[in-house]
Amino acid sequence: MGGQGVLVTGQQARLHDVAELLEDGAADREVAAMAQRIARRLAIRRRPRSELTERGAGRLASVPYRYRSDDIDLDRTIEVLAERPVPEDTDIVVRERMRSRRAVVLVVDVSGSMRGEKARIAAATVAALSADLSSSGDQLAVVAFWSDAALLTPLGADVSAPRLVDQLLRIPARGLTNVHFALAVARAELARSAVRRRTAVLLTDAVHNAGPDPRLLAARFSELHVLVETDGEHDLPLAADLARLGRGRLARITNHRDVAPALNRVLR
């Protein structure tokens, strides 16, 4: 059980249209300005990707020779050369390990007020994931949740990190937290993707107090990572349970500077 006890309720949650949800006008100017600065400058500090590292992980595939691999697929090469009496170098077929694309759904807890360090952490997480995934051709969706949830952007949509941060900050303050429903929305979004690797990243304090036990759903994910905010009230045991059941990793977040290193650890 979670350290503070999981409150299980029969409350019915619903998915909101984000356009109808946002408060009119801009978010608090100081908070918004701070969050946008983070969103514009932050990127996960990974080692630079090279063609070699891109080919070093993933499924083995037969591809035209591109002056990189010397592992010739003899059967496929013979088939190609039989049709081309004067072959080119690229008519040789070799085996390379190809990096698999990834679909990631970021699930952000916006229960309570999105101010102070909580806003900084949310901004840093959105910005870091957006920068890293967009640079590698991966897909990102963002779900905001409280007792209900809203899909801020679906997989495959091209929405900038500053715009996503602005939407997060303009969601009205909410009290209850339904982690189960948020995971259900994330899982449904991942099911739409055709890519092989589907990942959810849950950013929350894990103080679940509405809806069914979220552990029941966590076990249905192929990869669920949890970033648990520990700067205030939180339930670390429940967060650990969710990551374990979801075959993912757990990282503690105390301030926005922890976000990029934490994402590097869980998504490595």
Summarised one tens digit per residue, pLDDT across range 9-40 is 666 788 888 877 776 655 566 666 766 676 66
Contact 251, 228 (CB under 8 A): yes
The stretch 87-104 carries a mean pLDDT of 70
Q: Kindly give, in sequence order, each residue whose CB lies less than 8 Å from that of residue 73, ignoring residues fewer than 6 positions away.
A: 62, 93, 94, 95
- 130 or 221, which is more confident: 221
Q: For a pLDDT cut of 70, what percent of the chain falls above it?
A: 72
| Surface-to-core class of residue 46, CB atoms within 10 Å of its CB (0-12 exposed, 13-18 middle, 19+ buried) | middle
pLDDT at residue 56 in the model: 45
pLDDT at residue 249 in the model: 97
Classified as helix, coil or strand, 115 is coil
Q: Give residue for tokens 């932050």.
A: 42
- 60 or 179, which is more confident: 179
pLDDT at residue 51 in the model: 41
CA distance 4 to 136: 39
pLDDT at residue 101 in the model: 80
Q: 71 to each of 59, 74, 88, 97, 206, how far by Cα in Å?
A: 15, 9, 17, 11, 48
Q: In the predicted model, is pLDDT for residue 184 greater than 70? A: yes
What does DSSP say about strands 93-98 and 102-109: parallel, antiparallel, or unpaired?
unpaired
CA distance 2 to 212: 14
pLDDT at residue 63 in the model: 58
Mean pLDDT for the chain overall: 80
pLDDT at residue 43 in the model: 46
Q: In the predicted model, is pLDDT for residue 248 greater than 80? A: yes
Phi/psi at 33 (nearest 5 deg)? -65, -45
Contact 240, 2 (CB under 8 A): no
The stretch 40-59 carries a mean pLDDT of 47
pLDDT at residue 67 in the model: 58
pLDDT digits 0-9 by tens, 143-164: 999 999 999 999 988 888 888 8
Q: Looking at 48-52, 70-74, 94-98, 116-120, which range is the least confident one?
A: 48-52
- 142-173 burial string, b = 16+ CB within 10 Å, else e? bbbbbbbbbbbbbbeeebebbebbbbbbbbee
Residue type, 155: L
pLDDT at residue 47 in the model: 40
CA distance 116 to 176: 19
Q: In the predicted model, is pLDDT for residue 109 greater than 80? A: yes
Could you give all domains of the chain from N- to C-terminal order, each with its CATH number? 15-47+100-266 (3.40.50.410), 59-98 (no CATH)
CA distance 153 to 114: 19
The stretch 86-95 carries a mean pLDDT of 70
